[in-house]
Structure 1
């Protein structure tokens, strides 16, 4: 059973998009520098050894896991035999049967959301005597595959226990299966409703191996999402973690603690994955802290660290505490005219171009972010944040007293107050955390002006094992996601209880110390998914399932950075902030996505004779 659980396709700390599941980035291999599915979206940019992720599907590994499917099918035969021979009782058989179908459902879900319809194999196949065609199974339609996933979750739900067994606190329960069904049904519904926003052509389309579903299909899946979500919500053993904070500071701490120290003592967590302490089993922890601590707090000297850059795009999505009942995002204010204009290459700015920008001046790097949603402060290291007692410096430029800008270029200038100022706020390469040595092997810095905070061990100390010293668990699914799944399904289908959906939406915001109620709109729900579930590997799939990736990343789109600059034209000097195209996106002329990439290439078609997906 442990081997089967290891085949669960969880996109966690040891998931590497270019390598697959249960990988350990580091050790001189292709994972140096760490990776996250966030960098395949508009959440983060991680500059790595092979360049960086230049497309949402850049180097993305598939998951064609018929090896695990065979193991599980054989396992189901074996436990039937064990029960028939009296080796296990009916209670244990039922639990094992439910767990096997839960894992099967997840494997097929991981495949259908990547490939569309796939071959469905429900029993161990015998090796053919001579004709391999005896074991060749054609692809099912995309709808039939999603229906199979739903039926496998239903088998799991009907057979798994309500409570975790005493000998395995991390094993699946009925509630875990319901939560995963909520997620998978929402994905299926979205694809059924929106697949034709990016129409494809070819044999796979004609045979409905991809696409071809109807609004009736979509509403059926939305209803299944609603039904599964309602059962979880009705279970009073689940609730939001600390839903009524006394103030914003407490709300920020609660949210950060949930991810720094996850535990099943937290009633919000439905399913999580834990990691063995590397001090007792070498290499069994994960590398999140090792690779993603900001440069100023980095506790090792290995190559390719501290390169996580949270994008300005996601930072701008967060609200402030105006709380006027709209739920509107509050982009960072950088100009007196409130225009959000982006500079393609800030190194090329002339004195006159810079002089024409109506900057807002700030006393500190942190000042523009003071009133932003606490989940931003708990998830992202901002310019001027404090991490492990260190004031995080994200400065990337200065303006000389004569008006000449020095951006991304080392400079040392005496200011009007007779003090010496540096481009990066320090002349020590460990004294800043952003924009250093861009595009070089020494670029162990954020390229966006923001870094990662969520998940990192801030108040705790990482074990001394080194690379694999992180052991904080990965929250695979939690109640806040179920609330948001329910709200989206209600809005898109018209089924369910819209009043309750609005209540759940606002409960999540009030946990973040907001005091108003906002209306239940699809814009508000999708915005809330972005801020509440930031970096939890939802954004990439949310864009895929709603067929929005080619819209957001069509036409050579750029993700964006925010450069804090010390302005020496004033005495005392103050900070200004420049909105710019990210250095790496600009260097390759855009972060792009082609509609064919909503489906991956089917592997091995020359031998398995399966119909290939469109445009491959």
Structure 2
């Protein structure tokens, strides 16, 4: 094998297209590719590096880029990046989550691995072991490369398809020029890779190997890819009809194809029919815990592909309330629009007749505090009898967390003298802004931040069965003229896990459009804070409505005049509560047609005249 010096690799990386960058495939202490692919141990390290590039949206802040949350950290990189997206000020030279160059670097590493793994020598005394594992390693790398292409596809649509490592003279500029492949070609490649590797992958792994790619993971990637491909953004979207390569090749199919929904449904059913996954359901009599615990334990019953994470309390520290008993940083505030998306426990949306939703008044009752049910008082009727997932996902005024240790409910309304206080970190640099909620999902009650005891043991679910059920329900609803039992069955399985009523509940649930709204909202609730909403609102092409509007929180930073008008002691908690429960605009968000797809980075366009830009950029 030709040796490639690391210095030469770096030189070429600076002079070539990012999608043909010649970057090292292994840590810098190894000087050549030959070092890696003549030593099986180093080859395994190269594969581990590919695994490390799989997605992990836990703590990624992507929920603040859409209509789930608002980022409170004005001076934090994640907060600044969220504001760019929220205000429409990101661009083809400043796209915080575009990652074009990074993904093509990852793809190059995968290509090198795939092309060389077969020839890696194996010690004779390990021949039987690697006779099984080498084909798996290759299949795993092909999956990971397909996942990388999915990451590019959902961002850019049509992208260059590079599947080989081609060593060229860096001065040979012509051979570093590439065209974009069409959306249909990218989707076909991802799907064909998933189909091509599925027989080389096991159904399950022994415990020491959990986190590796399985048949289910390959089929889940196929399911997600085909669902996106069938969605309005990519299926008959007239906005992109004019985007063509210089040779006239259309990059987006402007003709709607209903059969794409059937292919997406069939792919989801392939995962379901494996019969080895089950919705996480250890607490059937406690629907809040039945949902919540999945996200702070290492679940392997529902999770199809986990991103294995080390024990860590960083996420907890960032998202727990800020007050003295909790000592967190209250990083993200769920928006009122997100809170309002949770149905009532009778299955009726809050704005529908018969829901029973009330804005005024309070109630007392038992709330799950993460460890047990405890008595809570003074709760707003806004939060009474809601979908159990609400209580597992969002902290609200006087909700509970480890009540025995913290001794009081969470206080997110203004209270106290001077500059005022809340547990929602509405003081300090962001002190002129109102808040009202904190993120609860994924937090571990095993960890007592106040006492400094315990830890958090969780993974990030790259794919889980609930998503596959919802994929199937959505695809079948779009394929059929009106929903039937196949649609209702799979969305109801997800709802049943949290004791929510089976659909249909209201008359509109019997129509295709009505069920579309239900399914979209079910994904919004079930997959909250898992990185799904950002992409869903784009592929459904509803982002111009939901991300192009003022967004609201609650009035946790009232003015002195508001407090005085209550007639109460203006330093009292009662005064803060009297003006708290009203929506307050925290940001006027901007989303236009050009934001549905990301722009190809301008530096890539400058280097390669064969690349054509996405709409509006």
Q: 2:426 aligns with which of 436, 442, 449?
A: 436
Q: How many residues align?
A: 515
Aligned to 1:260: 296
Q: Which shifted more, 601-610 or 75-84? A: 75-84
| Deviation of the 1:370 alpha carbon | 2.2
Q: Indicate whether 1:605 and 2:605 are aligned.
A: yes
Aligned to 1:354: none
1:392 touches 1:432 (CA, 8 Å); kept in 2? no
Aligned to 1:380: 394
Provide the rounded CA distance (Å) in 1 between the counterparts of 2:451 and 2:109: 37
Aligned to 1:73: 111
Provide the rounded CA distance (Å) in 2 between the counterparts of 1:201 and 1:579: 46
Q: Indicate whether 1:369 and 2:396 are aligned.
A: no
CA spacing shift, 1:459–1:90, aligned 2, 3 Å: closer
Q: Indicate whether 1:558 and 2:560 are aligned.
A: no
CA spacing shift, 1:459–1:366, aligned 2, 3 Å: farther
| Deviation of the 1:108 alpha carbon | 0.4
Structure possessing the higher relative contact order (Cα contacts under 8 Å, 6 or more residues apart): 1
Q: Indicate whether 1:505 and 2:491 are aligned.
A: yes
SS at match of 1:364: strand
Aligned to 1:457: 444
Q: Indicate whether 1:4 and 2:50 are aligned.
A: yes
SS at match of 1:582: strand
| Deviation of the 1:152 alpha carbon | 1.7
User: What do residues 243-282 of structure 1 show as CA deviations (whole Å, max 9, x unaligned)?
Assistant: 8823xxx110121111121322xx21111112224xxxxx
Aligned to 1:478: 464
CA spacing shift, 1:326–1:130, aligned 2, 3 Å: closer
| Deviation of the 1:378 alpha carbon | 0.5
Q: Indicate whether 1:289 and 2:335 are aligned.
A: no
Provide the rounded CA distance (Å) in 2 between the counterparts of 1:471 and 1:71: 31
Normalised by the length of structure 1, the TM-score is: 0.74
Aligned to 1:581: 584
Q: Which has the higher helix share?
A: 2
Provide the rounded CA distance (Å) in 2 between the counterparts of 1:450 and 1:476: 26
Aligned to 2:341: 317
Q: Indicate whether 1:232 and 2:271 are aligned.
A: yes
Q: 1:333 aligns with which of 358, 371, 381?
A: 358
Aligned to 2:62: 37
User: What do residues 264-323 of structure 1 show as CA deviations (whole Å, max 9, x unaligned)?
Assistant: 2xx21111112224xxxxxxx47311211111257668xxx3231001101111111234
| Deviation of the 1:63 alpha carbon | 2.1
1:39 touches 1:45 (CA, 8 Å); kept in 2? yes
RMSD: 3.7
Normalised by the length of structure 2, the TM-score is: 0.74
Aligned to 1:60: 96
SS at match of 2:553: strand
Provide the rounded CA distance (Å) in 2 between the counterparts of 1:125 and 1:184: 27
1:462 touches 1:469 (CA, 8 Å); kept in 2? no
Provide the rounded CA distance (Å) in 2 between the counterparts of 1:463 and 1:335: 34
CA spacing shift, 1:243–1:498, aligned 2, 3 Å: farther
Provide the rounded CA distance (Å) in 1 between the counterparts of 2:267 and 2:109: 28
CA spacing shift, 1:464–1:568, aligned 2, 3 Å: closer
SS at match of 1:387: coil
1:312 touches 1:560 (CA, 8 Å); kept in 2? yes
User: What do residues 412-457 of structure 1 show as CA deviations (whole Å, max 9, x unaligned)?
Assistant: xxxxxxxxxxxx22349896223733xx5264x9943111100112
